[in-house]
Chains A and B, each alone.
Chain A
Amino acid sequence: MALDYEPKIVGFLCNWCSYAGADLAGTSRTTYPANVRIIRVPCSGRVDPLFVVKAFQLGADGVLISGCHVGDCHYNEGNFHTRRRFVLLRPFLDYLGTEKERFRLEWVSASEGKKFSQLVSEFTETLKRIGPRKT
């Protein structure tokens, strides 16, 4: 593995919590790796499994779905649906050869800028350890 390998992470962040959380990380000048490419979605429930599979197909090393904590969804129940989809999709992708570690679902609220930066750092480290995804 090349030493200068920088993984690409596609982050689907919910508009109401995690996107604001990522924004807070920025405004409070917390540094986090620039490996994450953020896509703002109205709710984590908007993330169709199709998006995740497509991201992996187009060369993402990791996919992060992040939304409001369970029970805090702006649309009341969006993240409950996300959760159900995620628990089925992750083992399925693993079954097809995309390691479990490459796909994460994390709850980050608008006040958790620190948590977001730690999350991205940790995820990037994990992906660097696993190495590039061979398609």
Chain B
Amino acid sequence: MINEIRNKAKELLEKKRVECVIGYERATDGLTARPAFIYDPSEVDRLIFDETCVHNLSRFLIDKKHKATAIVAKPCDSRGINLLLNESQLKRENLFIIGVVCSGVKKVRFNQIEDSLQNKCQYCPQHVPSVYDFLVGEPVTETASRNYAEVTAIEDMTSADRKLFWAEHFDRCIRCYGCRQVCMGCYCYECFVDELDPLWAGIRIASSENRMWNTMRAFHLAGRCISCGECERVCPVNIPLMLLNRKLEKDTVHLFDFEPGINAETTPPFATFKKGEDLGISK
């Protein structure tokens, strides 16, 4: 498997089809993976792929918008690429996607590989990337369906309990904005939270400001979040951010029949409307 990736990367670099190959390499601790940027064909042996390759590399494509780039993409990363293509952030002709059939990646905590799969992989129904130029691994037929059990569990709580539940989580937020930095959907030149006038989220340490940030971060990704789980993975205080994203995903699928990242052609739900649609509020 890894030889296929390395050979393809080598071929692409030697033929000058791409300038850079974005993939994974072994980190200095010898256990975990880290993103690798390969410019030289002689360095392709640095590339690896295994169940420690947790990162979503599509984020890095935004900085390489106008350069021919190849990327190693898991199914979740491929959905990210589709999202960026859909929003005209990338040019398809500049991209070469090395798709990898993925059966889930492992949890990494304190530089230790744990035995269980990442949370995102436990509910991910996809094993083959949605978009690729070259596929590594044997294609499998998708069988799993989407399930939102943990979202429904929170919906079933009383309003007061939910408020308490989220207050406990948001109070821990240190607003490092790691969730934003790692997200390929958060590519705004100026984030609303960085604006000073109007000051949407103040810099004081207060739970209402944390709440403001977390609410709007999630809502700006409504109908756009591709459930790669990167925000939750990088959160230093373990806020279950995917519970927010998946609630919005559930509603988007239900109301607008739209799944982000499945293809790059369907117009996103907030960029369009249907005149006669009944969204449960028409009078």
Q: Are B281 and A86 neighbours in the complex by a CB distance under 8 Å? A: yes
Asked if B200 is at the interface (CB within 8 A of a chain A CB), the reply is yes
CB distance from B249 to the nearest CB of A (A): 11
Q: Are B251 and A49 neighbours in the complex by a CB distance under 8 Å? A: no
Measured between beta carbons, the chain A residues less than 8 angstroms from B280 are 87
Measured between beta carbons, the chain A residues less than 8 angstroms from B266 are none
Asked if B141 is at the interface (CB within 8 A of a chain A CB), the reply is no
Q: Are A57 and B211 neighbours in the complex by a CB distance under 8 Å? A: yes
The stretch of A3-11, A22-30, A31-39, A77-85 that contacts the partner chain: A77-85
Bound CA–CA A107/B218 (angstroms): 27
Bound CA–CA A93/B222 (angstroms): 13
Measured between beta carbons, the chain B residues less than 8 angstroms from A83 are 273, 279, 281
Measured between beta carbons, the chain A residues less than 8 angstroms from B207 are 135
Known: A53-B215, A70-B282, A107-B283. A88 touches B200 (CB 8 A): no
CB within 8 Å of A: which of B161-204? 162-167, 192, 200
Bound CA–CA A21/B159 (angstroms): 33
- Checking B154, B216, B270, B283 against A85 with a beta-carbon cut-off of 8 angstroms, the contacting residue is B270
Known: A54-B200, A88-B255, A107-B283. A49 touches B216 (CB 8 A): yes
Main SS of chain A's interface residues?
helix
Q: Are A135 and B247 neighbours in the complex by a CB distance under 8 Å? A: no
Asked if B275 is at the interface (CB within 8 A of a chain A CB), the reply is yes
Q: Are B163 and A88 neighbours in the complex by a CB distance under 8 Å? A: no
Q: Are B159 and A92 neighbours in the complex by a CB distance under 8 Å? A: no
Q: Are A53 and B212 neighbours in the complex by a CB distance under 8 Å? A: yes
Measured between beta carbons, the chain B residues less than 8 angstroms from A2 are none
Asked if A105 is at the interface (CB within 8 A of a chain B CB), the reply is yes
Q: Are B273 and A88 neighbours in the complex by a CB distance under 8 Å? A: no
- Checking A53, A57, A97 against B160 with a beta-carbon cut-off of 8 angstroms, the contacting residue is A97
Known: A84-B273, A85-B270, A88-B252. A95 touches B281 (CB 8 A): no
Q: Which of A50, A95, A105, A135 has the most CB of B within 10 A?
A: A95
Q: Are B247 and A92 neighbours in the complex by a CB distance under 8 Å? A: yes
Asked if A99 is at the interface (CB within 8 A of a chain B CB), the reply is yes
Asked if B269 is at the interface (CB within 8 A of a chain A CB), the reply is yes
CB distance from A86 to the nearest CB of B (A): 7
CB distance from A47 to the nearest CB of B (A): 13
Q: Are B219 and A92 neighbours in the complex by a CB distance under 8 Å? A: yes
Asked if B104 is at the interface (CB within 8 A of a chain A CB), the reply is no
One digit per residue, 1 when the CB lies within 8 angstroms of any chain A CB and 0 when it does not, for chain B 221-235 equals 011000000000000
CB within 8 Å of A: which of B133-168? 154-155, 159-160, 162-167
Q: Are B163 and A134 neighbours in the complex by a CB distance under 8 Å? A: yes
Measured between beta carbons, the chain B residues less than 8 angstroms from A96 are 162-163, 166, 211, 215, 244
Bound CA–CA A79/B253 (angstroms): 21
CB distance from A115 to the nearest CB of B (A): 11
- Checking A77, A95, A99 against B273 with a beta-carbon cut-off of 8 angstroms, the contacting residue is A77
Q: Are B273 and A89 neighbours in the complex by a CB distance under 8 Å? A: no
Bound CA–CA A78/B163 (angstroms): 32
Bound CA–CA A94/B248 (angstroms): 12
Asked if B3 is at the interface (CB within 8 A of a chain A CB), the reply is no
One digit per residue, 1 when the CB lies within 8 angstroms of any chain B CB and 0 when it does not, for chain A 101-115 equals 000010100000000
11 contacts between A and B (CB under 8 A): A57-B209, A71-B275, A84-B279, A88-B222, A88-B248, A91-B251, A95-B244, A96-B163, A96-B244, A97-B159, A98-B163
The 7 A-B pairs at the shortest CB distance, nearest first, are namely: A97-B163, A80-B273, A87-B279, A97-B162, A57-B212, A99-B159, A57-B208
* B residues adjacent to A (C-beta < 8 A): 154-155, 159-160, 162-167, 192, 200, 207-209, 211-212, 215-216, 218-219, 222-223, 244, 247-248, 251-252, 255-256, 269-270, 273, 275, 279-283
